[in-house]
Chain A
Amino acid sequence: MDFDKSIIDDFVIESKEHLESVEGDLLNLEKQAESADPELINRVFRAVHTVKGTAGFVGLVNLANLAHVLETILSMIRAGEMKPESSIVDELLHGVDLIRAMLDDVYASNDMDIANIMIKLTAIVDNGAAVCEGLAVTCDDVLEDEKPEPENSAVPLADILEKEHGFTVDKNLLRSAQESSEYFYILDYDFSEFSEKHGLTPLALIKHLDGHGNVVEINADVPVQDLHVNDIGGPFPCKILYATKVAPDSIEHVVMLQGDCVTSLKNDSFVSANEVVNTDADNNEQTYGTAHGEPDMPQEVVADSAVDEASQKDEPAKAVVSEEGDNKNRNERAETIRINVGVVDKLMTLAGELVLVRNQYVRSVDRSNPTGRAISQRLDVITSELQDSIMATRMQPIGNIFGKFPRVVRELGKNLDKKIEIDIIGSEVELDKTILEALADPLTHLIRNCCDHGVELPADRLKTGKAEVGQITLRAYHEGGQINIEIKDDGKGIDVKAVLAKALEKKLKTEDELSLMSEKEVLSLIFQPGFSTAAQVTDVSGRGVGMDVVKTSIDSLGGVLDVESVPGEGTIIFLRLPLTLAIIPCLIIQSGEYRFAIPQINVEELVCLYDNDVREKIECAGDREVYRLRNRLLSMIRLNEVFNRPETFTDVTRAEITEKYRSATSLVQPAEVTTGNETHDDSTNATCSLNFAVLKFGINRLGLIVDKVLGTEEIVVKPVHPAVKNLGLYSGATVMGDGKVALILDVQGIARHTGVDIDRRSTDEQLQANQDQEVDTQNVLLFSNGEKEQFAISLPLIKRIERISPSKIENVGDSEFITVDGVSTRVIRIDSCLSVSKCDDKEEMFLLLPKHINKPVGILMSDLTDIETVPIELNVDSYKEEGVLGTAIVRGKMTLFLDICRLVEKSERPFGSHDSSVSINRYIGRTGRILLVEDTPFFRSLIKGYLESAGHDVVVAENGQKAIDIFRDSEFDLVVADLEMPVMDGFDLMKEIRTAESDDVPAIALTASDSDQSRTRAMECGFNEFEVKVDREHLLTTITGLLPKGNGVAA
């Protein structure tokens, strides 16, 4: 994709456009042979002339020569020296065909053998002259003598041009130029410099010049081979012979050149030539005037016979040429043919219909009949192939739009004084024409942004240790039936702070909202409309002049736009686009009795919940339903409700829906759930499973609850009927295999309708994410004891940490004591309880005083590391020892999480004397089914562990409400409940339980606040026992005491 190739590409495209009309014009010319419309001839002439001019300019000698001969013939026709008879027009057409063939393979054109056609065409030129002479002879003998004169008189200028400036100019052409122009100039262009300065392509320049005069001839001093070379820095000298009426004093302005590059030819030789030519022209006029004035048979005959003779003479040559030409043509035509887009669209529609018929047939075919099945399979395969092939006709390489970016980048680089290179990968990736066309502008915009705001000035780059030349990488590739485009620059990246400031300034978000947003979400703010509309973008490095426009256009293509940026290192913008818009893979779902299609590009995954999960996993967060999907909260939307409520959802609507399903599912057994008047819900609940699709729109997700998932299908998209277009819920419709219509859902529209739109969503997600953090992580104290291991203790279990000096430790038998706060505290050495490395003895050590342990004990630590937030999930399999909860990798180090209670217990007996199972076995024999209600995940898992290790069957609930729900469904031998909980606290829970039938179940209140007040209140509410967190031993004993004698219900 070098610069020069693009010039040639432009040339080819424009030349083809020029030639397009030529054929028709020539044929018309032939029809009106007698009184040819001068405008028609001029049009053909101009077209060929432009091709010739540019061909010469870019060094395509062969093409230029051929066009030149054609031009000569045309100029003769224009001058009336020749009539556009069919034989001549034939040759002209042939010549035009050949030019076209050359254009198709432009780089080989110089090697193409055009000798034959040249001979023929030259023969026509000569014959034309002969005819002309013949005419002259028959009309006026005097002309015979005068005839050579004009040629001679044109010679001085032609000679001068040839000798001094290296121009070989056709005399006819020179003559016609001389007729219309007063001045001749030789213009010296260095095109590579010129195009940078003025931004004009050679073609544009020639057009410009042609507007003020006549480009007679062009000499390019660069052999065409050099144009293949990527090096674009080199000069591209070129001389243009220019005939114009523009006087020398203003010529510099017109041709955009310095004076020293313009050579004026207004000299004596020219004048004389001009004069002579003028007389010549007069004579000619006179001559033709006579000829035309008295048209008679002999002239016609002469002309005809001459031409006939000429064409007969050339017959063999013609055959050869046409054969060669045809072969070439066939080869090249096979590569590309031009088809009207309308035809392709029609084919697409028909292919779409065929797909539908195929689907219908395949469905209806009798599977037991082998012949029928075989036919249907073949139909299936062929239709698919046909569809693919037709799709392929619409496919165009993305290189078509990528191709112009090197230039854009180059020019922008120049303008901005930056050095930028662009690297293009994947030009061959093909995209649907419609998408491709719609993509051009957004991509250009993004590239411009990269240059303007991304890549720094060379000096800045050097300062930050980067290469002077900024690199933009444009990459396109296929992935999963989609096109991915990456635009990457190694510039300064997007300054998140600036984006934040801007967002605040523009009042797009409040400070609170912003503080909750992740970096990625902040970055995506640049796509918000109105984010950056002003011109002073550079001062904040805020990309995004019109980024929202880019986003909108990408969205409208069904694409996704994403941005990643590392300050100082660069920015990557990702585009994900469907291959085509006409046929798209869709997920087919059912809601009520009707089917709907959701474009696969929006579908991230499908989730199916069964039985209890249906009720438990869909939670309520405020007025809406949410589902926790791998630590991410999904707003859930029920499609049935969307359809039943035409008005945009408000908080009230959402609350209504949430309440409806919550009460419906929590109160009644799922099989019996009836949702009142709703017509669509039976299938959801009858099977007691619930399907939802996780749909993405932009960077957001939502869960769409549907009645049934039917599968995926490739569907032909039909646009929405204009009368219902503004509903916004549908992006189209399609005909399904059975002939029924299904609507295609617009995910964005649904999100908008239900109010799960971007703003709200991102904030919510953040809030939820914070809650998530609370729920799924814990804060731990990291410390070390020996030199090897790293330990962790959950912060809620630590009362405080005391700095001690080991010398103060006193020994009583095997035990060590130290006085803390006037109390003798037993010192527990981890290395004496666990098989870990020995404690480093230091001058100053730390004593950890645990909470919830009623004996005065402290755990000795040699070094405190830090406090860290870690996931609550621990690896319990790789390292097992009593006193260790589990392990996890913290800061790249394996860390032992200590169970203080067990450690204390363990330290009370001589190391290794008891088997751990003994302590557990004490409680076995009195086991039961226990409902544990605790909101803090850490305690929940800790206590659950204790209870389970004692042989109990434990079911957990996070709050009172949940506990009630669970409690109603099954029986328990015992309830252990925290008192302080969200949603429903322990007191209310107990009241609730006591008022229900199963009022006799024993219950233990478990709390951190050991106050008489709460103790009394707990007892009043109906708790049997009051336990302070977390005395394992005591708790287990209490439980054993409360459990009914013998085996429990569930044991």
Chain B
Amino acid sequence: MSEAVKTELDSAQEKIQVSTFWLSGRLFGVDIMDVKEINTEVDFTPIYHSSKEVKGYVNIRGQIHLVLDLRLLMGFESKEVDIDSRVVIFKQSIAEPFGALVDKVEDILEVPLAQVEEYQGQDDAGYVVGEQTRNSGLVKSICKLEDGLLIILNARNILRSIETGQSANQK
């Protein structure tokens, strides 16, 4: 798939690099500039009483990261971690150290900006994401690939959706 995409991209002038991953059989991505690393550490320390999207803490080289269940955030059912599960760790410029648990990581894709559409929320592209996430600003844009859609998430809003969600819970 990526091969096809890449050859096609050669002609486009402006491209963005997206680190992609799978969630519940759908392809998602985040701007590669927001990603620090992909880590295999999936042994989380649960934080009781936190919202259910919080998987827990994980130690990555001495630094404690908060890991969120991206499946839940996107409105899918949660699933047990398995051998493919990875944690996408975001850069500290985004927020305090945190990462997102994904089902499986995929390639880094270069997509031409021309193929990327801003996500409008009411758009019928909304079918890919669960109800809750519609208004949280998580989905930044949608990219039409040859063999499907790539949903590009806004890394900056991932943690924020937890924080706002939490305050909502408390009310």
Give the complex CA separation of A723 and B49 in angstroms: 12
Partner of B49, one of A643, A721, A739: A643
Chain B residue nearest to A753 in the complex (CB):
B49
Asked if A594 lies at the interface with its beta carbon under 8 angstroms from chain B, I say yes
How far does the Cβ of B165 sit from chain A's closest Cβ, in whole Å?
10
Give the complex CA separation of A743 and B66 in angstroms: 12
Asked if A170 lies at the interface with its beta carbon under 8 angstroms from chain B, I say no
Residues of B within 8 A of A642 (CB): 48
Task: Report the interface size class on chain A.
Answer: 20 to 34
Asked if B162 lies at the interface with its beta carbon under 8 angstroms from chain A, I say yes
Contact pattern, A 709-750, Cβ under 8 Å of B = 1, otherwise 0 = 000000000100111101101100111000111110000000
Asked if B126 lies at the interface with its beta carbon under 8 angstroms from chain A, I say no
Residues of A within 8 A of B66 (CB): 721, 723-724
Chain A residue nearest to B65 in the complex (CB):
A721
How far does the Cβ of A127 sit from chain B's closest Cβ, in whole Å?
56
Residues of B within 8 A of A718 (CB): 64
Asked if A140 lies at the interface with its beta carbon under 8 angstroms from chain B, I say no
Asked if B163 lies at the interface with its beta carbon under 8 angstroms from chain A, I say yes
Residues of A within 8 A of B167 (CB): 726
Whether B62 lies near A722 (C-beta < 8 A) is: no
Whether A724 lies near B47 (C-beta < 8 A) is: yes
Give the complex CA separation of A72 and B170 in angstroms: 69
Whether B49 lies near A727 (C-beta < 8 A) is: yes
Chain A residue nearest to B169 in the complex (CB):
A646
Give the complex CA separation of A734 and B45 in angstroms: 11
Partner of A646, one of B43, B49, B57, B95: B49
Whether A741 lies near B57 (C-beta < 8 A) is: yes
Asked if B28 lies at the interface with its beta carbon under 8 angstroms from chain A, I say no
Whether B45 lies near A740 (C-beta < 8 A) is: yes
Asked if A300 lies at the interface with its beta carbon under 8 angstroms from chain B, I say no
User: Contacts A721-B96, A742-B45 given: A353-B166 contact, CB under 8 Å?
Assistant: no
Residues of B within 8 A of A735 (CB): 59, 62, 64
Most B CB atoms within 10 A — which of A721, A734, A743? A721
Residues of A within 8 A of B48 (CB): 642-644, 646, 729
Whether A726 lies near B96 (C-beta < 8 A) is: no
Asked if A240 lies at the interface with its beta carbon under 8 angstroms from chain B, I say no
CB contacts under 8 Å to A, within B28-77, are 43, 45-50, 54, 56-59, 62, 64, 66
Whether B45 lies near A741 (C-beta < 8 A) is: yes
Asked if B98 lies at the interface with its beta carbon under 8 angstroms from chain A, I say yes
Most B CB atoms within 10 A — which of A642, A730, A733, A735? A735
Asked if A474 lies at the interface with its beta carbon under 8 angstroms from chain B, I say no
Partner of B50, one of A644, A727, A742: A727
Most A CB atoms within 10 A — which of B47, B96, B159? B47
How far does the Cβ of A722 sit from chain B's closest Cβ, in whole Å?
5
Asked if A356 lies at the interface with its beta carbon under 8 angstroms from chain B, I say yes
Give the complex CA separation of A643 and B50 in angstroms: 10
How far does the Cβ of B101 sit from chain A's closest Cβ, in whole Å?
15
Asked if B97 lies at the interface with its beta carbon under 8 angstroms from chain A, I say yes
Whether A723 lies near B162 (C-beta < 8 A) is: yes
Task: Report the interface size class on chain B.
Answer: 20 to 34
Whether B50 lies near A594 (C-beta < 8 A) is: no
Whether B43 lies near A740 (C-beta < 8 A) is: yes
How far does the Cβ of A823 sit from chain B's closest Cβ, in whole Å?
73
Give the complex CA separation of A723 and B67 in angstroms: 11
Partner of B166, one of A594, A723, A734, A742: A723
Whether A721 lies near B59 (C-beta < 8 A) is: no
User: Contacts A594-B46, A723-B166, A726-B170 given: A733-B64 contact, CB under 8 Å?
Assistant: yes
Give the complex CA separation of A594 and B44 in angstroms: 10
Residues of B within 8 A of A729 (CB): 48-49
Residues of B within 8 A of A594 (CB): 45-46
User: Contacts A733-B64, A735-B62, A739-B59 given: A726-B45 contact, CB under 8 Å?
Assistant: no
How far does the Cβ of A752 sit from chain B's closest Cβ, in whole Å?
12
How far does the Cβ of A357 sit from chain B's closest Cβ, in whole Å?
8
Residues of A within 8 A of B96 (CB): 721-723
Whether A741 lies near B59 (C-beta < 8 A) is: yes
Give the complex CA separation of A735 and B97 in angstroms: 14
Most A CB atoms within 10 A — which of B49, B54, B64? B49
Residues of A within 8 A of B64 (CB): 718, 721, 733-735, 741
Most B CB atoms within 10 A — which of A724, A726, A734, A742? A724
How far does the Cβ of A698 sit from chain B's closest Cβ, in whole Å?
22
Residues of B within 8 A of A739 (CB): 59
Most A CB atoms within 10 A — which of B43, B56, B59, B66? B59
Chain A residue nearest to B52 in the complex (CB):
A646
Whether B46 lies near A721 (C-beta < 8 A) is: no
Chain A residue nearest to B51 in the complex (CB):
A724
Residues of A within 8 A of B95 (CB): 722-723
How far does the Cβ of B9 sit from chain A's closest Cβ, in whole Å?
36
Partner of A743, one of B47, B54, B58, B170: B47
Residues of A within 8 A of B45 (CB): 594, 733, 740-743
Whether A723 lies near B62 (C-beta < 8 A) is: no
Give the complex CA separation of A191 and B167 in angstroms: 58
Whether A726 lies near B62 (C-beta < 8 A) is: no
Residues of A within 8 A of B97 (CB): 721
Give the complex CA separation of A727 and B57 in angstroms: 14
Most B CB atoms within 10 A — which of A718, A727, A741? A741
Residues of A within 8 A of B54 (CB): 723-724
User: Contacts A721-B98, A741-B58 given: A730-B170 contact, CB under 8 Å?
Assistant: no
Residues of A within 8 A of B170 (CB): 726
Most A CB atoms within 10 A — which of B54, B62, B163, B166? B62
Chain B residue nearest to A716 in the complex (CB):
B62
Give the complex CA separation of A734 and B97 in angstroms: 14
Give the complex CA separation of A726 and B47 in angstroms: 12
Whether B47 lies near A730 (C-beta < 8 A) is: yes
Contact pattern, A 782-806, Cβ under 8 Å of B = 1, otherwise 0 = 0000000000000000000000000
Chain B residue nearest to A729 in the complex (CB):
B49
User: Contacts A735-B59, A735-B62, A741-B57 given: A723-B46 contact, CB under 8 Å?
Assistant: no
How far does the Cβ of B139 sit from chain A's closest Cβ, in whole Å?
20
Residues of B within 8 A of A646 (CB): 48-49
How far does the Cβ of B40 sit from chain A's closest Cβ, in whole Å?
13
How far does the Cβ of B128 sit from chain A's closest Cβ, in whole Å?
25
Partner of A723, one of B43, B59, B163: B163
Residues of B within 8 A of A743 (CB): 45, 47, 57
How far does the Cβ of B23 sit from chain A's closest Cβ, in whole Å?
20
Give the complex CA separation of A353 and B63 in angstroms: 9
Give the complex CA separation of A353 and B64 in angstroms: 12
Give the complex CA separation of A128 and B1 in angstroms: 80
Give the complex CA separation of A642 and B45 in angstroms: 16
User: Contacts A721-B96, A741-B57, A743-B57 given: A727-B62 contact, CB under 8 Å?
Assistant: no
Chain A residue nearest to B46 in the complex (CB):
A594
CB contacts under 8 Å to A, within B135-171, are 159, 162-163, 166-167, 170
Give the complex CA separation of A718 and B58 in angstroms: 13
User: Contacts A721-B96, A723-B96, A723-B162 given: A740-B59 contact, CB under 8 Å?
Assistant: yes
Contact pattern, A 569-607, Cβ under 8 Å of B = 1, otherwise 0 = 000000000000000000000000010000000000000
Give the complex CA separation of A803 and B64 in angstroms: 81
Chain B residue nearest to A728 in the complex (CB):
B49
Give the complex CA separation of A618 and B47 in angstroms: 28
Residues of A within 8 A of B47 (CB): 724, 727, 730, 743
Chain A residues packing against B (C-beta within 8 Å): 352-353, 356, 594, 642-644, 646, 718, 721-724, 726-727, 729-730, 733-735, 739-743
Q: List 18 A-B residue pairs with CB atoms under 8 Å apart, sorted by A's residue number.
A: A352-B62, A353-B62, A356-B62, A643-B49, A721-B96, A722-B96, A722-B163, A723-B95, A724-B50, A724-B166, A726-B167, A726-B170, A727-B47, A734-B64, A735-B64, A739-B59, A740-B43, A740-B59
Closest A-B pairs by Cβ, 3 of them: A643-B48, A741-B57, A741-B45
Sample of 10 more A-B contacts, CB < 8 Å, known A643-B48, A723-B54, A735-B62 = A644-B48, A721-B96, A721-B98, A724-B50, A724-B54, A724-B66, A724-B166, A733-B45, A735-B64, A741-B57
